[in-house]
Amino acid sequence: MPSSAQDSSQPNRYQVPESLTGVVERITYHSEESGYTVARIQSPRVRELVTVVGNFANIQAGQTLQLKGVWKNHPQYGSQFEVQQYTETKPATLTGLEKYLGSGLIKGVGPVTAKRIVTHFGLETLDIIENQIERLIEVPGIAKKRVTLIHRAWAEQKAIKEVMVFLQEHGVSTIYAIKIFKQYGAKAIATVKDNPYQLADDIYGIGFLTADKIARNVGVSPWSKYRYRSGLLHILSQAAEDGHCFLPQPELMKLTAELLSVDGHEADLEAVSTIIDEMGQRQQLVVEEGEGGMPLCYKPSFAITEKHLAQLLQQLLIRPIAVDLLRVRNWIERFTQSRGIVLSSQQQQAVEMAARSRIMVLTGGPGTGKTFCTRTIVALWKAMGKKIGLAAPTGRAAQRIAEVTGLEAKTLHRMLEFDPATMGFKRDRDNPLPYDAIVVDETSMLDLFLAHSLLKAIAPEAQLLLVGDVDQLPSVGPGKVLADLINSEKIPVVRLEQVFRQAESSAIIRAAHSINRGEYPKLEPMSNNPQSDCLHHNGGTEPEHGVQVVCELISDLIPRLGFNPATDVQVLCPMIRGVVGTRNFNQVLQQLINPPSPDKPEVSRGGMIFRVGDRVIQLKNDYNREVFNGDLGVVAAIDAVEQELTICFDGRDVVYDYADLNEITLAWSISIHKSQGSEYPVVLLPIYMTHYVMLSRNLIYTGLTRAKKLAIIIGSNKAINMAIRQVNQQQRYTRLKERLGVKMIFNGNCSN
């Protein structure tokens, strides 16, 4: 192994890239989709075959490659050369030429034909094919038809090489170059030269910032209309990631101008305004008039979806249900007496309202009886002979409602039957859900688009019960659907407020309600023998001390209380970055809870190590695997030969190709946003002033209420107080509430 090779399983980030030239002997693995490759090459510098790993658009045995990269030492497979860039050169020997041509690179040329060609033309072979390919007819056994076939195949290979060389010369990384070539083929160079910002629209993983860097490298003007248009859409996309459905035009212009200003030259606000007008005329943007005449800018899909969702809700509201209320009350009385239970007045109201409402919202904090009330409503609907469907946004939330009601429950994506082929749901207005009544739990997690898909799929005569805690964080996606429905005062709502005696015995629940009222909760100070299920450890003001405290709790107190750190504890953070952010915590906790071991295979990707036994979280909806954003799993196996990693999600094994590992990340610590819809036996909640931009009342309330048996808040009183006082941090630009207050004309077309 070269002296520069590292003893770690990860390459040193400060390691200077080296060059390596060699002939590809064989391909161990190659992903057509991502280009990720494991190959063996023969290099004059190294006595034995070298294993190279990296991303290649097209690679064949016999190719001579010039590689740039770093050496690393894999714990299982030894020395490997991790390729960062590569170029292809012509084979320098007759044997190399034969292997190259006969590798399958050119359709119509196998090993036998390759030997004949090289025997005839010698070292001039590639020049002949490049410039005088018609001369191949001189080779015995090659007919004119075969020459035409070889010519076409060689031209295709040449196009691939030209595209890859062009993109790499202009600073495009190999992995992005491969994605660009696979998207555009031979048109890749023309597309990048003409409008590199098209890449941000067409290719997952290439956003505005990457496209902008490519554009600068190929000489696109900073004042290009393409750049302005792409910048506007990027700002709106960023706003959507923050939960907004639109931006007021002055705010959109200000943020876009800041983004587009380069090298001390400020972007032209007038030009930004002109682009907004042009995009509005071309229906690439929807500009609506808001309060006081303020222009509001939507991406078209957001405006259409928000309007249509309001229309669908209004259509449910105008269809009354005839019900014998006296009969319902008699049933409730018999049901409660037979079980020796008593409904509160609010719960009684909720059950009666569910009997006669086409759509209804049931909300309330922890311990107020939402679960019991939902179970009673489901029992009533069963007694009324209704076919009932149960769903929730996440698998764990669906599992909980199934346990409560005794009926099957599904995630919303499964209930609506997502079709990966069309990237849409099979259930819609033309193919509605086969239920008379539907319960959806954890509806604070419903974003604009999922809520719209749900409402589209409800049969005209069906009923819908939306259950959720409106005081929790809003959805990760755009919108604040549950809050807008409640605040519109158009949808029937029952808010349960009475905390029941049994629930009041939990300090977690008492603290949650105090926080919700804007009061500092009564928390038991940390001790060796805690008597409460809700504790406070004053972890000082320094974030580094907070990390130390978390590690000490996991190593000492948590096991003494009978909890398993590997399965029962979840660290929830307000942010990803920083010392007390999820990223740093995951590295620290992985080393603490699941350290490296010879019997634990591992793989390194993107500066992160995944090891058998690691807890991981899915970062995006993957409909083919039926794994969704926020799903938690455990790495069950790693197969370095097949380049696959197996993750167990709630008893179901799901296989990932190494190329898809950007869909997951470690989950010893996750953000509070990602924890929505889940519960954990133990929650550790570090709250520090370094999080001040994210601190809010519903953030700490949501994090605290994820704990089932024990919650420990770590941090200063100042940071906790700040979070409790902040109630306006999660304001979002939406207009669903306003649209529900507007009388709409129904055109009967609700399938769009």
Q: How far apart are CA 512 and CA 502, in angstroms?
A: 15
Is 231 contained in some domain? yes
Q: With b meaning 16 or more CB within 10 Å and e meaning fewer, what string describes 36-71?
A: bbbbbbebeeeeeebbbbbbbbbbbbbbbbebebbb
370 labelled ligand-binding:
yes
Which of 27-41, 85-99, 425-439, 449-463 bottoms out in mean pLDDT, i.e. has the lowest?
85-99
Is 275 contained in some domain? yes
Please say if the pLDDT value at position 84 is more than 80: yes
pLDDT, average across residues 175-182:
73
640 and 562 within one domain: yes
Strand ranges (E), 408-522? 409-411, 418-419, 424-425, 437-440, 463-468, 493-496
334 and 271 within one domain: no
Q: How far apart are CA 75 and CA 100, in angstroms?
A: 32
- Residue whose token pair is 């764990």: 396
CB-CB contact of 285 with 300 (8 Å): yes
The number of angstroms, rounded, from the C-alpha of 3 to the middle of its chain's C-alpha atoms is 40
Which of 170-174, 520-524, 574-578, 680-684 bottoms out in mean pLDDT, i.e. has the lowest?
170-174
Q: What is the pLDDT of residue 2?
A: 46
Among 318, 306, 223, which residue's Cα sits nearest to residue 271?
223
Domain boundary among 216, 235, 256: 216
Which of 22-36, 456-470, 572-586, 664-678 bottoms out in mean pLDDT, i.e. has the lowest?
22-36
Is 331 contained in some domain? yes
243 labelled ligand-binding:
no
**Maximum average pLDDT range among 338-342, 588-592, 723-727:** 588-592
Q: Report in angstroms the alpha-carbon separations of 586 from 383, 583, 592, 615, 674.
A: 49, 5, 10, 10, 15
More confident residue, 606 or 463: 463
- Give the contacts of 324 (CB within 8 A, at least 6 positions apart): none
Cα end-to-end distance, the chain, whole Å: 61
What does the pLDDT look like over 401-421, one tens digit per residue? 999 899 999 999 999 998 877
**Looking at residue 455, which CATH number applies to its domain?**
3.40.50.300
Is 125 contained in some domain? yes
Confidence of residue 191 (pLDDT cuts 50, 70, 90): confident
Q: What is the pLDDT of residue 639?
A: 87
Q: What is the pLDDT of residue 177?
A: 74
**Looking at residue 234, which CATH number applies to its domain?**
1.10.10.10
Number of domains in the chain: 5
- Give the contacts of 234 (CB within 8 A, at least 6 positions apart): 200, 207, 208, 209, 259
For 188-231, give the secondary structure using H, E and C.
Answer: HHHHHHHCCCHHHHHCCCCCHHHHHHHHHHCCCCCCCHHHHHHH
Please say if the pLDDT value at position 751 is more than 60: no
367 labelled ligand-binding:
yes
Please list the residues that pair with 298 across neighbouring strands: 286
On the 0-12 / 13-18 / 19+ scale of CB atoms within 10 A, 87 is middle
Q: Report in angstroms the alpha-carbon separations of 244 from 238, 283, 735.
A: 9, 20, 10
409 and 345 within one domain: yes
Per DSSP, the three-state class of 315 is: helix
256 and 176 within one domain: no
Q: Report in angstroms the alpha-carbon separations of 312 from 55, 213, 426, 439.
A: 47, 43, 18, 17
Containing structural domain, residue 78: 18-88
368 labelled ligand-binding:
yes
Is 303 contained in some domain? no
Q: How far apart are CA 540 and CA 686, in angstroms?
A: 11
Confidence of residue 175 (pLDDT cuts 50, 70, 90): low
pLDDT, average across residues 456-466:
95
Q: What is the pLDDT of residue 515?
A: 93
Domain boundary among 88, 104, 130: 88
What does the pLDDT look like over 634-670, one tens digit per residue? 999 998 767 789 999 988 999 998 878 888 999 999 9
Confidence of residue 501 (pLDDT cuts 50, 70, 90): low
197 and 176 within one domain: yes
Please list the residues that pair with 647 across neighbouring strands: 635, 654
What does the pLDDT look like over 664-694, one tens digit per residue? 999 999 999 889 888 999 999 999 988 777 8
Confidence of residue 221 (pLDDT cuts 50, 70, 90): confident
CB-CB contact of 568 with 681 (8 Å): yes
Q: What is the pLDDT of residue 714?
A: 94
Q: What is the pLDDT of residue 386?
A: 96
Percent with pLDDT over 90 in the chain: 47
21 labelled ligand-binding:
no
CA 536-694-676 angle, 5° bins: 75
Q: What's at 555, amino acid-wise?
A: S
Q: What is the pLDDT of residue 14?
A: 47
What is the overall mean pLDDT for the chain?
86
Is 738 contained in some domain? no
226 and 196 within one domain: no
